[in-house]
Amino acid sequence: MKVFNSVFLFLFFVSAALQFNDPDPILWILIYSFGAFICYSSLRQWAYPRLILYSVFVFAIYATYLFFDKNGVLTWISKHQAENIAGSMKASSPWIEETREFFGLMILIFVFLINYFHATRLRANG
């Protein structure tokens, strides 16, 4: 778990730093910084299972919104034939931006769930 959290701590920190050119930079800097905080707190063995679970719930709601939004993932799949979203760092279309944000949230949720299950297992084992 130390390697897992160290890698994602670094990745979330870099992701937060790269958000300055985003259309909504403050929101995504905070989201990725929070992901880095969860990884850091897990590295330090400060378990916050309720906070992690609450965060998963909130991020899942936001991801659902991004999926069904008029320029969301569903639009990217159905109307734009799932065009390449990694071809350029500049999101030239709103559905590319929202699809990238959706997958960023999915990565965060995955990391949070791994940390949640690890933290609850540690607490159960005393």
The string of pLDDT tens digits covering residues 3-28 is: 999 999 999 999 999 998 888 899 99
**Residue 73 pLDDT:** 82
pLDDT tens digits along 56-90: 999 999 999 999 998 888 887 777 766 666 665 55
pLDDT tens digits along 23-55: 889 999 999 999 999 999 999 988 789 999 999
**Residue 78 pLDDT:** 77
pLDDT greater at residue 76 or residue 116: 116
**Residue 17 pLDDT:** 95
Q: Are 34 and 55 in contact (CB under 8 A)?
A: yes
**Residue 92 pLDDT:** 65
Q: How far apart are CA 82 and CA 34, in angstroms?
A: 29
Query: Alpha carbon of 81 to those of 75, 76, 84: distances in Å?
Result: 9, 7, 9
Radius of gyration of the chain (CA): 16
Tell me what percent of the chain is helix, strand and coil, each rounded to the nearest 5. 75, 0, 25
